[in-house]
Amino acid sequence: MLHLLKIEWLKIRNYRAFWVLFSLFIIAVLGINYIAWYIKTQIEQDAGKMIGSLVGGPFSFPEVWQTVGWMTSWLLYFPGFIMIFLVTNEYTFRTHRQNIIDGLNRHQFVWVKLWVATILAVLSTVMMILASLLFGILSKGGTFEFESLKYVGYFFIMAMVYMLFAFMLALLLRRAALAVGIFFIFGLIFDNVLANMVNQQMESKLGTYLMPIDVADQLIPFPFLKSVSSTVMKQANEWICLAICAAWIAFYHWFALRKFDKEDL
């Protein structure tokens, strides 16, 4: 596998779009959390401690893991786009055929891409950890505790779901523009709308459990206004969401391997 990853590295090393997108992602992670942090401190300063306490202290330890995780998850589309480009490039340049002709087998070709998805998820999680530490230290007060570290793990699972969903779209559509468009619009809008519609009809969280992105989004719940949101919004069951995410991750692996194995390239 290390040898296969080295080959992927040769493809990425001088791929400018990758470096541009990845740099933007790093800056954006810091940026989006800074914006939220800035607004929060402004509210505390201007509106006083009363409203400030209503907002909560989401940037101090231990809440910072959840807050930064939730904010950063909005940016998972960036590594998702990278994932899509790395796969659709192969189709566009027809190098998916050439790689096989030159001596990869079909499973190797898919497995290394699944590993790339995992690496992108790990890198995203590393960014989330760094941003959490940074803003946690910036916000005074609060104590470090281990229980909230679960959000690091949840963020990683969420990132895996996003990367693999992007991978599946790229495999199915083969074209970058189409895959990026559908990934973005579906993940941001349709997935949510459909989930909420079903939830409303069934008066349960069924819609959330059915939608591939929404179910992952539930792992890190809305961190602000906790005192209000926890009474207004019904929370999805954490363990059910985790199980469904694991099932999706397994399904994406199976689907990708099977699709690439059976079809004409």
Partner 1 sequence: MQVVLEINNLSKNYGPVQALKNVNLQVPAGTVYGILGPNGSGKTTMLGIIMDILRPTLGYVKLFGETPNEHHRKKIGTLLETPNFYHYLSGKENLEIAAAIKGVANPDIDGVLEKVNLAQRKNSKFQTYSLGMKQRLAIASCLVGNPEVMVFDEPTNGLDPVGIAEIRDLIKKLAREGKTIIMASHLLDEVEKVCTHVAILKKGVMIASGHVDEILVQDDVAEVSADDGHALLQALQVMPGKTNLHPTDEGRMAIHFPPGTANLAALNQHCFNHGLVLNYLQIKRKSLEMKFLELTNE
**Closer residue to partner 1, CB minimum distance, 77 or 91:** 91
Binding site for partner 1 (CB under 8 A): 3, 6-7, 10-11, 14-17, 89, 93-95, 97-106, 108, 262-265
Considering the complex, what minimum distance in angstroms separates the CB of residue 69 from partner 1?
34
**Closer residue to partner 1, CB minimum distance, 70 or 85:** 85
CA-to-CA separations, 106 to 100, 206, 225, 250, 257, in angstroms, rounded: 7, 37, 49, 18, 8
Spatial neighbors of 6 by CB under 8 A, at least 6 apart, are none
**Closer residue to partner 1, CB minimum distance, 94 or 234:** 94
Considering the complex, what minimum distance in angstroms separates the CB of residue 124 from partner 1?
24
Q: Per residue in 163-177, is it b (16+ CB within 10 Å) or e — as a string?
A: bbbbbbbbbebeebe
* Closest listed residue to residue 128, CA positions, set 28, 212, 244, 218: 28
* Closest listed residue to residue 216, CA positions, set 154, 127, 167, 153: 154
Considering the complex, what minimum distance in angstroms separates the CB of residue 75 from partner 1?
25
**Closer residue to partner 1, CB minimum distance, 3 or 140:** 3
Considering the complex, what minimum distance in angstroms separates the CB of residue 102 from partner 1?
4
